[in-house]
Structure 1
Amino acid sequence: MSDVLSVVDTLCKTPRVGWLQRGVSNAESVCEHVMLVTLLAGEIAAQLNAEGVEVDLTKVLAVAAVHDLAESILGHPGREVRDRVRWEELEEEVIKREFPHFAELFRWYRYETNFVGRVVAFADKLATLIRACRYKKLGFDTDDLIKNLYGKLSKYDDLAHILDLYVARYCPGAGL
């Protein structure tokens, strides 16, 4: 069984490397990202439920909370590392070994095997888009990332109206 305090401490001290590579000195940590994803996923699930689309809020929150747990062991490498290794397999291996009780929830997110996983995967990308827009306002060059993430998020046809709400709120003037 993992030491949860150490896991949390590690995630809260682990910066998201992509932001550092873009010159953001006080970059978002994995812990901050997980919290943002969890809150966004919860808001999205609540919105969908209000629209009559049934989504289990408790499961959405649980999946969002554990979606980056493997990074407590693997760290948060940049995109060039993730593209050169079988990152998804490494993450799943760590989850199965260190957090077996969360393995099913992680798979829902990683492979979007159900609507809960799909909502969390959407919220994960949306959180990064929102952060990229925030860093752009602070003067960092994130235009390419904003456009790339918006393109990925636009493929979630059933959540397009949700994307529009968050883009209007967090990314005005981003040219989206």
Structure 2
Amino acid sequence: MKLERLLEGAKNLVRTGWMQNGIPSAMGETVASHSFEASILAYVLATELKRKGIEINPEHSALIALFHDAGETLLGDLPKWATSRINKRDAEVEAFDELGIGKELFLELKDLNTNEAKVAKLSDRLSTYLQGLRYKRIGFNVDEIISSYAEEIDKLLSIEPLNQIRELVTRIMNSLNKLNPK
């Protein structure tokens, strides 16, 4: 396992999409901060689903969200235009093989065949949406990212069992929206 590379890469790798939208790298969200927020959200959302009687393990959902971008510590955060030229999934699997940790969590997320993976995917999207609102609040034009992630979140909230936490997700989204003066 390349633990040091994983830890250093996650803490220092700024997410590409923000920089492509004018966010200076010194202000950029890192893979580590994104993954941390996504894992907290996954735990909260999965706990709510469990409270509603859905069979789900909140800790496992949080763990999937925590590791979902770990492959980027070796690959880098590939921009969307580059992923049309390569098989991103295969490249990420190879990166997880090199790291020696988290591959099964990554594959579970990509297959979306468990409730835990569905919540982790939603949490990944929700974290990016929330970060977009934070950047918008300080004056950056990231409306395209915010709207595209809002659409993805809406689609995810139409599937079982995520549709049962639509109200909670909407409250989370609106809580930051209210802080935005624009």
Considering the TM-score relative to the shorter chain, is it more than 0.5? Answer: yes
CA deviation digits over 1:115-135, x for unaligned, max 9?
A: 111100010000000000111
Distance 1:114 1:81, change over 3 A: same
Q: Contact 1:154/1:163 (CA < 8 Å) preserved in 2?
A: no
Paired position in structure 2 for 1:6: 5
Paired position in structure 1 for 2:167: 161
Displacement after TM superposition at 1:173 (Å): 7.8
Paired position in structure 2 for 1:172: 178
Summarize the alignment of residues 26-105 of structure 1 with structure 2, pairs less than 5 Å apart.
Answer: 26-99=27-100, 101-105=101-105
Distance 2:73 2:9 in 1: 6
| Fraction of identical pairs, as percent | 23
Distance 2:121 2:179 in 1: 25
Q: Contact 2:137/2:179 (CA < 8 Å) preserved in 1?
A: no
Distance 1:150 1:142 in 2: 12
Q: Partner amino acid for 2:178?
A: P
Higher normalized contact order (CA 8 Å, seq sep 6+, divided by chain length): 2
Q: Number of residue pairs matched? A: 172
Distance 1:145 1:173 in 2: 18
Q: Contact 2:70/2:102 (CA < 8 Å) preserved in 1?
A: no
CA deviation digits over 1:104-160, x for unaligned, max 9?
A: 211111221211111000100000000001111111111111111111111122242
Q: Which runs of 4+ in 1 moved over 4 A?
A: none
Question: TM-score with structure 2 length normalisation?
Answer: 0.87
CA deviation digits over 1:66-87, x for unaligned, max 9?
A: 1111011101122221233211
Distance 1:97 1:7 in 2: 10
Q: Contact 1:107/1:113 (CA < 8 Å) preserved in 2?
A: no
Distance 2:115 2:106 in 1: 13
Say whether 1:149 aligns with 2:149.
yes
**Structure 1 unaligned blocks of 5 or more:** none
Question: TM-score with structure 1 length normalisation?
Answer: 0.90
Displacement after TM superposition at 1:31 (Å): 0.8
**Structure 2 unaligned blocks of 5 or more:** none
Distance 2:148 2:136 in 1: 14
CA RMSD of superposed structures (Å): 1.7
Q: Contact 1:37/1:124 (CA < 8 Å) preserved in 2?
A: yes
Q: Partner amino acid for 1:44?
A: L
SS in 2 for 1:91: helix
CA deviation digits over 1:29-79, x for unaligned, max 9?
A: 111111111111111111212222231012112211211110111011222
Of 153-162 and 5-14, the range deviating more from structure 2: 153-162
Q: Partner amino acid for 2:5?
A: S
